Amino acid sequence: MTNLCFLFLLLLPHFNLVKSQLELNYYSKSCPKAEEIIREQVTQLYHKHGNTAVSWVRNLFHDCIVKSCDASLLLATVPNGVVSEQASGRSFGMRNFKYVNSIKSAIEEQCPLTVSCADIVALSARDGIVLLGGPSIEMKTGRKDSKESYANLVEDLIPNHNDSISSVLSRFQDIGIDVEATVALLGAHSVGRVHCINLVHRLYPTVDETLDPTHAEYLKRRCPTPNPDPKDVLYSRNDLKTPMIIDNNYYKNILQHKGLLTVDEELATDPRTAPYVRKMANDNQYFNQQFSRAILLLSENNPLTGDQGQIRKDCRYLNTN
Ligand code: HEM
Ligand SMILES: *[C@@H]1O[C@H](CO)[C@@H](O)[C@H](O)[C@H]1NC(C)=O
């Protein structure tokens, strides 16, 4: 009897292991170079096409806020099968998906069927942030890939370009991201661009009175008509001063009412968020701290772990067996 008790105590820690979680260096034994290979690929791609790094940051948001960080975003549309989340209007302007395949191929060459696409989404965002001048973030791994696309949920779960700050705050709160962290995450809009199609409602027929008039004139030059052809690549950069740097300039811009989206403008004026906006505008180090914390919260939203999900061989397609 005592022996049995002893055996049980010995096994106890192993039962804990079965309840799997994300961990630091999850691939240290199965693919020790995984994180290095990803960083190398992300760096090479950045030097060829700087905006790939911007895309990895947006990918993290669009993947993780839809149920889980599970690479469901990366699934391509297949005849009579998967409908891609990328086909949703919410994904408008997303780019560089083809380069995810380069990262995945480099990994598969060294460690077949070992490193998930979900971890590639997370780590490429992490490495992209560093290349864009943002903070270094220590990130856990061990995510698994979804066995389905959630294309039908995307419109409910990803905020639209004209959604209010209230709806955005409550959407983030749903996944455990507090107000301060939400303010920090929007700092991602310190890089990249917004297409005219997502802007013109603030310019025509009349200029949104919350928008800085000089900036509105600039935006009207960038977007000269109220009905831009979605196929035209008409856009404005988010941050004219440091367009490829993740920094607190975003907060300075929105305090001057030069934010492009409704949510950017409201972030600076809503009493729940404005105090954080002012603090981040004044203190880049505080912004970096909160941005790191917020990226971790987002990247750890409800992951599939252990024997849930799968590790896709090609991030675009479900495994066939
Ligand atoms: C919460 C409310 C948010 C809304 C309504 C929103 C909406 C948008 C829209 C409409 C665009 C422009 C798309 C285009 O016209 O090309 C955009 C761009 C972008 N968003 Fe957000 N976004 C939000 C939050 C976030 C978050 C939390 C992140 C990341 C942490 C993020 C990262 C980006 C990036 C990096 C771009 C630039 C993409 C590029 O230039 O390729 N956004 N967002
Ligand atoms: C937001 O924009 C969409 C088009 O993208 C439009 O259908 C919708 O009515 C707009 N919503 C609000 C609240 O203005």
CA of 58 from ligand 1 middle (Å) equals 6
Average pLDDT of the chain, as a whole number: 94
CB 72 within 8 A of CB 146: yes
Arithmetic mean of pLDDT, 232-253: 95
What distance in Å separates the CA atoms of residue 13 and residue 22, rounded to the nearest whole number? 17
Residue 21 tokens, joined: 């979680």
Rounded Cα gap, residues 27 and 249, in angstroms: 36
pLDDT tens digits for range 53-71: 999 999 999 999 999 999 9
pLDDT of amino acid 232: 82
User: Does residue 87 register a pLDDT over 90?
Assistant: yes
Look at residues 217, 273, 65 and name the one whose alpha carbon lies nearest to residue 154.
65
162 CA to centre of ligand 2 in angstroms: 6
Q: Are 155 and 66 in contact (CB under 8 A)?
A: no
Q: What is the distance in A from the centroid of ligand 1 to the CA of 54?
A: 10
Pocket of ligand 2 (CB under 6 A): 160, 162
pLDDT band at 230 (very low <50, low <70, confident <90, very high): confident
Q: Ligand 1 atom 35: the closest Cα is on which residue?
A: 58
Q: Which fold has domain 26-157?
A: Peroxidase; domain 1 (1.10.520)
DSSP 317: B
Q: How confident is the model over 44-52, as a mean pLDDT?
A: 98
Token match 């000269």: residue? 224
Q: Which ligand is nearest to the CA of 59?
A: 1
- SS3 readout for 1-66: CHHHHHHHHHHHHHHHHHCCCCECCCCCCCCCCHHHHHHHHHHHHHHHCCHHHHHHHHHHHHHHCC
Q: What is the pLDDT, as a whole number, of residue 223?
A: 96
Judged against a pLDDT cut of 90, whether residue 10 lies above it is answered with no
Beta bridge partners of 314: 317
Residue corresponding to tokens 């070992």: 114
* Probe target for ligand 2 pocket from 91, 154, 161, 162, with the most ligand atoms within 8 Å of CB: 162
From atom 8 of ligand 2, which residue's Cα is the shortest distance away?
162
Q: Is 42 annotated as a binding residue?
A: no
**Alpha-carbon span 5 to 129, nearest angstrom:** 50
Domain 26-157 and domain 165-298 have a common topology: no
Per the annotation, the verdict on 62 as an active-site residue is yes
Main-chain dihedrals φ then ψ at residue 227, nearest 5 degrees: -125, 70
Report, in this order, helix, strand and coil percent for the chain, each rounded to 5. 55, 5, 45
Ligand 1 within 6 A of 61 CB? yes
Distance CA 90, CA 154 (A): 7
Residue of 61, 73, 229, 233 best suited for mutating to test ligand 1, as the one with most atoms within 8 Å of CB:
61
The rounded Cα 232 to chain-centroid distance in angstroms is 25
Where residue 192 falls (left for φ over 0; alpha for ψ -120 to 50; beta otherwise) is left
Catalytic residue selected from 14, 47, 49, 62 = 62
The answer, yes or no, to whether the previous bond of 230 is cis (omega within 30 of 0) is no
> What's the confidence (pLDDT) of residue 3?
56
Closest approach atom of ligand 2 to CA 89? 5
Is 247 flagged in the annotation as binding? yes
Q: What is the mean pLDDT of residues 274-301?
A: 98
Is 66 annotated among the ligand-binding residues? yes
- Ligand 1 atom closest to Cα of 262? 5
How far, in Å, from the CA of 223 to the mean position of ligand 2?
18
Give the number of other Cβ atoms within 10 Å of residue 321's Cβ.
5
Q: What is the pTM of this model?
A: 0.94
Angle between helices 97-110 and 51-64 (to 10 degrees): 90
Q: Is 189 annotated for ligand binding?
A: yes
Q: Where are the domains of the chain?
A: 26-157, 165-298
> 2-6, 23-27, 216-220, 265-269: lowest mean pLDDT where?
2-6
What's the pLDDT band for 1 if we cut at 50, 70, 90?
very low
Residue nearest atom 6 in ligand 2 by C-alpha distance: 162
Query: CB of 145 within 8 A of CB of 118?
Result: yes
168 CB within 6 A, ligand 1: yes
Residue 11 pLDDT: 52
| Residue 135 marked in a binding site | no
Residue 141 has pLDDT above 70, yes or no: yes
Residue 91 to residue 88: CA distance in whole angstroms = 5
What CATH number matches the domain at 165-298, 1.10.420.10, 3.40.50.150, 2.70.98.10, 3.10.20.440?
Answer: 1.10.420.10
Is residue 297 lining ligand 1, measured as CB closer than 6 Å? Answer: no
pLDDT the model gives residue 279: 98
